[in-house]
Amino acid sequence: MALQIYNSLTRRKEAFVPTHEGEVRIYVCGPTVYNDAHLGHGKTYVNFDVMVRYFRYLGYKVLYVQNITDVGHILDTGEDRILAGARRERMQPMQLAETYTRRYFRDMDRLNVTRPDISPRASGHIPEMIELIKVLLEKGFAYEVNGSVYFDVSAWKEYGKLSGRRLEEAQAGTRVEVMEEKRDPADFALWKRAEPEHIMRWNSPWGEGFPGWHIECSVMSTKYLGQPFDIHGGGVENKFPHHECEVAQAEAAWNKPFARYWVHNGMLMIRGEEMHKSLGNFITLEAAFQRWDPLVIRFFVLLSHYRGPLDVTDEALDAAGAGLNRLWGTVRAIRRELGVAPEGPASAEVQALVAETRAAFERSMDDDFNTPGAIAALFDMTREVNRLLNSGMPLTKGSLTLLDELYSRLLGDVLGVLPENLEAEVGSELTGELIRLLIDTRAELRKAKQYALADQIRERLAELGVQLQDGPQGTIWTLS
């Protein structure tokens, strides 16, 4: 079965058919770089990263664009987020944006999120935004008031088709001062007049000002991906008004579809509550990394479906860590055995196990990127592999290589939770050789009937998390 994606626009799962054969063009709304990235960003960008990795695994040529919002994102208070941050940190606005852009990529690198192919900055695309606004004015979808330009929601009849929200809902909560300028409270700013104290300002046909937030995404997605492009992604909290406004701008201006599949990532919750600074439960990625390995956080995210909410608790993260360690333990054991395994092709049993696992993994991923199902397939295989490793019948080099390749591909390339230097992480080859030395010493002691000493070695190793298993072919060790 071909890949199915839940499309928020049509509200159902659809077979994925790319616009250009063999290619996937995807745009995901990026961060506003005025503050450190938090766990919610982690969930969003890990999930989209795995989609991109899976498309590449399937053989698609992917072009992934994710913007950096460094201007124009207005807070509910009417304040520009970048300017508010710059005041808070006593920096120039662009200095602040650069600082947090670097910190964002640092955090994403640690989560093993592949960098987008293009990371366009809003501030670098002001001329293109002005051009789009001019088209909207010419076609009667926008109007100018005192140097600001607003989108006329009543002129574009399809407004609301993505979010299903009615205009009246959009009007609730709009600030009174702004309402006076707009013809309708649901209209939204394309361009804002810069007040004298506003530092970030650009010349435009309507005087000095700065762009509204939504316009940058309509411009930067279509500039690099064309229109229509395949997939537009983002957090579900941005579906309305941000994504609704993106659709309105691009489709009203060019009279053709904007993005064909809309993919929305579910919310992150902290112990059942939304994460908010005001609730005191706000967790930056940097703080989370102090406590959990970034790959454990990544794995934890992937244990839930991307569309659902993800509830963060210490227990759930610890459990994710234990699960990931089990998978790593088996990959380590395979790699260790590879060094001493007898030559020979892969056994029929291992070939069948690998084929079944790959099929189950792909079946889950093809079903709207069901990562929990894909991970379950890997756990099923791991139980079988552990059974084979402990059966006392040594696996051939061919079998071990086939298993190692499958873990590298699925757990590594697609899910991104297999460190390249897995052996080095436990403490290098030397550790393995020292454990082997103790195992041999224990065997010698047993031969000499020094059972108490032999047992002591086994117990002391167990205390260090190294489990010994005796079989007819000798003793193997695993990490618990």
Least separation, in Å, of the C-beta of 223 and Zn ion?
A: 13
Nearest approach, Cβ of 238 to Zn ion (angstroms)? Answer: 6
Distance of CA 159 to the CA centre of its chain: 29
Cα 210-215-221 angle, rounded to 5 deg:
130
Evaluate whether 237 touches 267 at the Cβ level (below 8 Å). Answer: yes
Closer Cβ to Zn ion, 210 or 407, answer by number: 210
Least separation in angstroms between CB 27 and Zn ion: 8
What counts of helices (H) and strands (E) characterise the chain? Answer: 17, 15
Cβ nearer to Zn ion, comparing 29 with 454: 29
Nearer to Zn ion, 29 or 466 (CB): 29
Minimum CB–partner distance for residue 245 and Zn ion (Å): 9
Looking at beta carbons only, is 29 or 333 nearer to Zn ion?
A: 29
Is residue 29 close enough to count as binding Zn ion by CB under 5 A? yes
Cα separation values, 346 from 96, 296, 384, 395, 404, Å: 56, 31, 15, 8, 12
> Do 192 and 177 contact (CB within 8 A), yes or no?
no
- Euclidean distance between CA atoms 271 and 278, whole angstroms: 15
- Contacts with Zn ion in 193-252 (CB under 5 A)? 217
Binding mask 129-158 for Zn ion (x = CB under 5 A): ------------------------------
- CB of 232: closest distance to Zn ion in angstroms? 8
Site size toward Zn ion, by CB under 5 A: 2
CB of residue 33 to Zn ion, shortest distance in Å: 14
Residue pair 70/220 in contact (Cβ under 8 Å)? The answer is: no
Cα(19)–Cα(260) distance, integer angstroms: 9
Q: Which of residues 344-373 bind Zn ion (CB under 5 A)?
A: none
181 φ, ψ to 5°?
A: -80, -30
**Which CB atom, from 68 or from 217, has the smaller least distance to Zn ion?**
217
Q: For 202-261, give the secondary structure using H, E and C.
A: ECCCCCCEEECHHHHHHHHHHHHHCCCEEEEEEEHHHHHHHHHHHHHHHHHHHCCCCEEE
Kindly tell me which of 43 and 332 has the beta carbon lying closer to Zn ion: 43
Residue 243 Cβ, how far from Zn ion at the closest point, in Å? 7
Return d(Cα 402, Cα 348) in angstroms, integer.
Answer: 11
**66/357 with CB nearer Zn ion:** 66
Q: Which residues bind Zn ion (CB under 5 A)?
A: 29, 217
